[in-house]
Amino acid sequence: MDKIVENFYKRIDDMKKEYNEDFLKEKLKSYHDKFNVTNLQILYDFSTYFEKFFTNVDLKKSENIVLVKNIAKMYLDDPYVNSISKDCYKSILNFKKFLLDNNMYENFLIKEFSVSFYIIMLFMPLGEIRNLELFETIQKLWLVVDNIVDNKSMNKKYKKLLKPLLSFLKDKIYLKPNVELFINQYSKNICIKLIQEVYDNKKLSDTEKIKFFEDARTLFMYSYSPKGIEYEKSQDTNNVLKMSIKKAYLSLSLFKNCFDPYKEDDKIYNLCFIAQISDDLQDLEEDIINEGNTIFTRETRKNRSIITMCLLDFIIENYEGTKYKYLFSIPVIDSILYNHYLLDPTFIKEIVKYKFVNFEKCDIKKMEKVFFNELIDKFLDEDLPDLYDVDVEKISKEEVISRMKKFYDAKEETNQLEPYLVSEV
């Protein structure tokens, strides 16, 4: 792991020396030619009309079900990814219900949970997910604990809820004969309810459960204990990435129970490395606001772009075919587009030429705010899984765009008529 980090920093230093406008243009052209990801071009065409479609679509109409399912199949064009989409959606519904049942519902928690499931494709090189229930439980536990620790308002309201979990892990209750008594004692605690979900998971053996909690204990003490938090904040630039990758590896030690087959070899560090830097890029704005310590936060916009290109080089060198297609298109390019104003303007200007997303018509951050503040209940509807669990006619990309455009045109016509409608009233 140390060697991977050391080589990556050397790569960054070398690229800083070479970086100029011509170098940048050639680099980005090589990425476009190398990946040749057709679904990114589809995303651009969708994005021209997506905002109006997204805000106005009635998801329960049969013609719109056909349209939505075709969009999903075009963008997420891998059979395995398509096969788990419904289960992932149900997991988000489960998390929403779980938060409501425990009086902890927050829109931003749903957002983070949804994004986490969106990037499960990052784990494709490990194999297919065979234990989605455990994957869901790990995400719930991580989001609850992480936000209680790091989010000031949640920390103030819910900090005491972490005490039973801390005791369970720190004192290794999971190895003691009174474990059932302990869980019953705190059965109403949200963290212990998630511990119970691990025990209830029928795909985990007793030995695997003990190993799971051993790994969870190591991660918890490293990431959330006062000593661990202070250690993280104190790291200098050269050590922050090593620390981040170690945390990613500890996290992956939990997630590996969800995959079959799973082979633990040197490549696992590469995946941890990609996962952590992709996550840091996605959370860049939040980390800057919260004074987080990542490889990006202390850097200039130009250097952030250089780090991103070094990450793309790393992916190309270590993965190929479908695997790097999703490693690239899902967590990395979307993170670039999401945080484009925090990266080098020249870098973004060149990316725009390749038409990944129509920035003039589709502001990803704006859409996120609209979705999670205004439309979330419309999209997280208990009836939708059954409605969408049907085969639909396959329509061409041109027909998809045409049908999406109708939402855009209809909205434009309404906007033009509104002054007349008001005056008549």
Q: Do both 206 and 155 map to the same domain?
A: yes
- Model pLDDT, residue 39: 61
Share of the chain above pLDDT 70, in %: 87
Q: Do both 58 and 169 map to the same domain?
A: no
pLDDT grade, residue 126 (50/70/90)?
confident
Give the position of tokens 């899984």: 385
- Model pLDDT, residue 233: 58
Q: Do both 182 and 49 map to the same domain?
A: no
pLDDT grade, residue 421 (50/70/90)?
very low
Is residue 135 over pLDDT 50?
A: yes
Alpha carbons within 13 angstroms on the beta-carbon side of residue 235 total 20
Name, in order, each residue with C-beta under 8 angstroms of 49's C-beta and a sequence gap of 6 or more.
361, 401, 404, 405, 407, 408
Mean pLDDT of 176-198: 96
Would you say residue 367 lies in a domain? yes
Strands 259-260, 128-129: pairing is: antiparallel
**Long-range Cβ contact pairs of 239-245 (< 8 A, separation 24 or more):** 240/293, 240/294, 240/295, 241/5, 241/8, 241/9, 241/276, 241/277, 241/295, 242/1, 242/2, 242/5, 244/276, 244/277, 244/280, 244/294, 244/295, 245/1, 245/4, 245/5, 245/269, 245/272, 245/273, 245/276
- Model pLDDT, residue 45: 82
Q: Tell me: the pLDDT tens digits for 275-318?
A: 888 888 888 888 888 777 788 988 999 999 999 999 999 988 88
- Model pLDDT, residue 364: 80
Rounded-to-integer distance, Cα 130 and Cα 105, Å = 28
- Model pLDDT, residue 19: 93
| Boundary (domain end) residue, out of 264, 293, 310 | 264
Mean pLDDT of 210-216: 94
Cβ atoms within 10 Å of 53's Cβ, excluding its own: 21
Residues 196 and 247 sit within 8 Å (Cβ to Cβ) = no
* Total domains, the chain: 2
Is residue 274 over pLDDT 80?
A: yes
Would you say residue 315 lies in a domain? no
Q: Do both 122 and 237 map to the same domain?
A: yes
- Model pLDDT, residue 412: 52
- Model pLDDT, residue 216: 92
- Model pLDDT, residue 164: 95
* Domain extent at residue 222: 104-264
Signed CA dihedral, 271, 215, 110, 126: sign only: positive
- Higher pLDDT residue, 27 or 223? 27
Q: Do both 46 and 129 map to the same domain?
A: no
Q: Tell me: the pLDDT tens digits for 363-402?
A: 888 888 888 888 898 999 999 999 998 889 999 988 998 9
Q: Do both 161 and 231 map to the same domain?
A: yes
Q: Tell me: the pLDDT tens digits for 306-333?
A: 999 999 999 888 887 666 666 666 678 7
Q: Do both 116 and 45 map to the same domain?
A: no
- Among 130, 108, 76, smallest CA distance to 330 is for 76
| Boundary (domain end) residue, out of 221, 245, 264 | 264
Q: Do both 255 and 403 map to the same domain?
A: no
- The most confident of the ranges 39-43, 146-150, 206-210 is 206-210
Structure-block tokens of residue 54? 């997204």
Q: Do both 246 and 140 map to the same domain?
A: yes
Would you say residue 61 lies in a domain? yes
Q: Do both 259 and 387 map to the same domain?
A: no
Q: Tell me: the pLDDT tens digits for 158-178?
A: 999 999 999 999 999 999 999
| Boundary (domain end) residue, out of 240, 264, 288 | 264
